[in-house]
Amino acid sequence: MRYGETGFNLEIDLSRGGIERVETDPEETALYLGGLGTNAKLLWDRVPPEVTAFSPENLLIFSAGLLCGTPAIGCNRTIVTTISPQTDLMAFSMMGGFWAPELKHAGYDKVILRGKSPELVYIWIHDDKVEIRDAAHLRGKGSVETTALIQQELNDPKARVAAIGLAGENRVYYASIEQDRSSASRGGIGAVMGDKGVKAIAVRGTGDINIARPAEYMQLCNEVLEYIEFRNANPIKGVMPILQGLGSPQEMLIHEEKWHTENFMWGNSRVRRNDFWNEDIEKSWTATLENYRTRLISCYNCPMKCGATIDIPGLPTFMMKCFTKLTYTMAAFSDLDFGMRIAQRATEYGVDGFTAPQVMAMALELLEKGILTKDDFPGMPEDSEGRFYWLLDRIVRREGIGDVLANGTYWAAKAIVKEADPFAHNCIKKHEQLPLKLSMLNPIYFLMYSTGEKLNITQIEGQFPQAPFPEREQREEFVKDWFQVPDDRFKQYFLDWNPRGENSMPFYPTVAMCCDIVDWQEKMHYIDDAFGMCAGLSSFPLKPPYHIHNYPKFITAGAGIEMDEDKLSQAAKRYRTLVRANNIRRGMRREDEKPPANHWKKRFPELEKELLDAYYRFKGWNEDGIPTVESLRELGLDYVADEFVSRGILADEKTAGSSTAADASSSAAQSVE
Ligand code: SF4
């Protein structure tokens, strides 16, 4: 009997039209925990570095997390994994909504797509019945429109549909996969779906999911629910509104945008507008949001309602959440009305709401500087809003200048001005980041930005406050009920952290403390991504309901895998290292691990070097960021060590030894009930 997971993957060969239901190995689950963990293993085993994003051999994996579909509150994430066309590294983007639980109920943990379909198709999974269907009539349709058409065609309004829009069909490097209440946007995974000729995957499931110890599990779920109620009634004091509560930043609920609009950058991520927010703007933006927002909505089995249905007169209804509310507005120096209107079109096209506005703002900056000329933009309107619509339309069709812009700021700047800097100045590992430029180096964020492989800073940060509280009394108040910390030393780190003077940034938290903090934050994100848990209830907010102390109990009672904090930390370290190993094998090195040069005004090269050196050592990586043979063996990743040696990535063959992957699996396997 398998618990938590179904024990079966769906393998679809699009080139031949083959469909297979494949039983999986429970020992792999014990080692890599499912979701992102087993995705990383699949990619390692089956996608060597010679395979590029648009090779037929590239896999596109849709994985439900290990506990998705169980009664665990907010456990609904689909982890989509592939090779990114933008970075040529492993991309793993998450989407919430309802798709993953539905897949579990249909009897599968993952859908693994390989090959390429000669014609545009969609996949219909209804329990045991799986079909590859013609999607010629859906070509060019928007992602939301496609969902409605498929549900109509299947005569099943409860079918959950993950679809691409025009951007995915045309392999725009930052194309997203949209799903009714969420989207997986980062890394260009929608482009890979389009390249494989798949317009959508629709799922409907009616089966059960087994729980190892149901009564115990329900008790744990009830405790989480009670704590959510407590946290909702007791927001954190002394932090900005979006950090006070749980869930994704409640952008659909919150009207006050002083912090974002005055601290995040406008245009091509360069212009700060210090005194932007005033009463008139607040009034007008509040009215816009209230008028367009029809209701707040949640993902599967969650009370948090982080999203909203947006109904703008004359436009189709769509779903919005998070910071996309502001990205188009700020890139175009416009207002919220424009931002929400263009987001509707962008959602239908299926583009990443972080990257697309930055690409368009960069194109306009190049025009302003005379590097591009009016001839490059034939027929483009004069006004900023009109220009954004015009550019978006061309990018998703890869028409004219849109063709080069469709590859993102890094590749577009390289093609136009022959080097990425200074115009694509907001990238890490060729990928656009939050449009945030600050004054003083934050050593914790320096490490997260540099070494993060999720390619999204908001999905790395979390449990430790972003900045010190001004007064010691406030800090003492904060740590009183901070039971989520792995141990009490983290409380002391925070208590001693001052905004100015002694113990302030950039030299406090100390290098050793930063290693501890970053490792904890990252670990929690990686655990979420294996379980399918929404970061908004775990790794992202302060004082969340899920943490390192109750997670092992969920695994034991839910999935039947005997777990404690040490074993869980070791498993998370194992597949986190495997994610890095995939990227190292594809050429990622220390020189790629640097935040944008202008991310902070005040930089400290010696300290930054010390931070990176120390964190690499802390993680068991050598000075180039490559996991060492010893650390790989300790994690049972002997097969990675052997391949690194055979490929010349790690030179010392003597210390690599000769044990096999099978030996490694059995030596590190944990007990499975
Ligand atoms: S916290 Fe918000 S984003 Fe997360 S599952 Fe709940 S509703 Fe969805």
Residue 420, pLDDT above cutoff 80: no
The confidence score (pLDDT) of residue 418 equals: 84
Closest ligand 1 atom to 76 CA: 5
Label residue 419 by pLDDT band (50, 70, 90).
Answer: confident
Report the percent of the chain where pLDDT is more than 70.
96
Question: Sheet containing 307-310: which strands, arranged edge to edge?
Answer: 293-297, 307-310, 318-321
Confidence of residue 651 (pLDDT cuts 50, 70, 90): confident
pLDDT of the residue at 239: 87
For residue 37, give the H/E element and its range: helix 36-46
Of 27, 35, 30, 31, give the one whose Cα is nearest residue 9: 35
The per-residue pLDDT for range 82-107, each reduced to its tens digit, is 999 999 999 999 999 999 999 999 99
CA of 301 to the centre of ligand 1 (A): 9
pLDDT of amino acid 180 = 79
pLDDT digits (tens, 9 = 90+) for 40-98: 999 999 999 999 999 999 999 999 999 999 999 999 999 999 999 999 999 999 999 99
For ligand 1, say whether the CB of 535 is within 6 Å of any of its atoms.
no
What is the rounded end-to-end Cα distance, in angstroms, of the chain? 9
Would you place residue 455 in the very low, low, confident or very high pLDDT band (cuts 50, 70, 90)? confident
Alpha carbon of 517 to ligand 1 centroid (Å) = 25
Query: Is residue 657 very low, low, confident or very high in pLDDT (cuts 50, 70, 90)?
Result: very low
pLDDT at 243: 85
Q: How far is the CA of 300 from the centre of ligand 1 (A)?
A: 8
Please say if the pLDDT value at position 623 is more than 60: yes
Question: ω into residue 509 within 30 of 0, thus cis?
Answer: yes
pLDDT band at 459, cuts 50/70/90?
A: low
Q: What is the pLDDT of residues 319-365, one digit of tens each?
A: 998 888 999 999 999 999 999 999 999 999 999 999 999 999 999 99
Res 579 pLDDT > 60: yes
Q: In the predicted model, what is the mean pLDDT of residues 281-304?
A: 96
Paired residues of 264 in beta bridges: 436
Give the ligand 1 atom nearest the CA of 297: 7
**Residue 509 near residue 445 (C-beta atoms within 8 A):** no
Residue 653 is predicted with a pLDDT of 54
Mapping DSSP to helix (H, G, I), strand (E, B) and coil, where does residue 478 land? Answer: helix
pLDDT of amino acid 659 = 40
Please give the distance, rounded to the nearest whole angstrom, from the Cα atom of residue 245 to the centre of ligand 1: 12
Asked whether the predicted pLDDT for residue 213 surpasses 60, the reply is yes
Whether residue 661 has pLDDT greater than 50: no
Q: How far is the CA of 537 from the centre of ligand 1 (A)?
A: 7
Q: What is the mean pLDDT of residues 116-140?
A: 98
Residue 114 pLDDT > 70, yes or no?
A: yes
What one-letter code names the amino acid at 81? T
String of DSSP letters for 328-360 = HHHHTT--HHHHHHHHHHHHHHTB-TTHHHHHH
Mean pLDDT of the chain: 94
The secondary structure element, H or E, covering residue 91 is strand 90-95
More confident residue, 632 or 437: 632
Nearest in space to 131 (alpha carbons), one of 22, 17, 23: 17
Distances from the Cα of 58 to the Cα of 44, 521, 583, 584, angstroms: 11, 30, 14, 17
- Nearest-atom index, ligand 1, CA of 305: 7
For the cut 90, the answer to whether the pLDDT of residue 673 exceeds it is: no
Give me the pLDDT at residue 458, please: 64
Q: Which atom of ligand 1 is nearest to the CA of 97?
A: 8
Q: 101 in ligand 1 pocket by Cβ < 6 Å?
A: no
pTM here is: 0.95
Q: pLDDT tier at 454 (50, 70, 90 boundaries)?
A: confident
Q: How confident is the model at residue 289 (pLDDT cuts 50, 70, 90)?
A: very high
pLDDT reported for residue 242: 78
Which two structure tokens, joined as six digits, stand for 520?
Answer: 């904890």
Q: Name the residue at shortest CA distance from atom 5 of ligand 1.
A: 74
Residue 250 — very low, low, confident or very high, per pLDDT cuts 50/70/90? confident
E strand spans, 189-284:
198-204
Burial code (b: 16+ CB inside 10 Å, e: under 16) for 594-621 equals ebbebbbeeebeeebeebbebbbebbbb
pLDDT of the residue at 457: 66
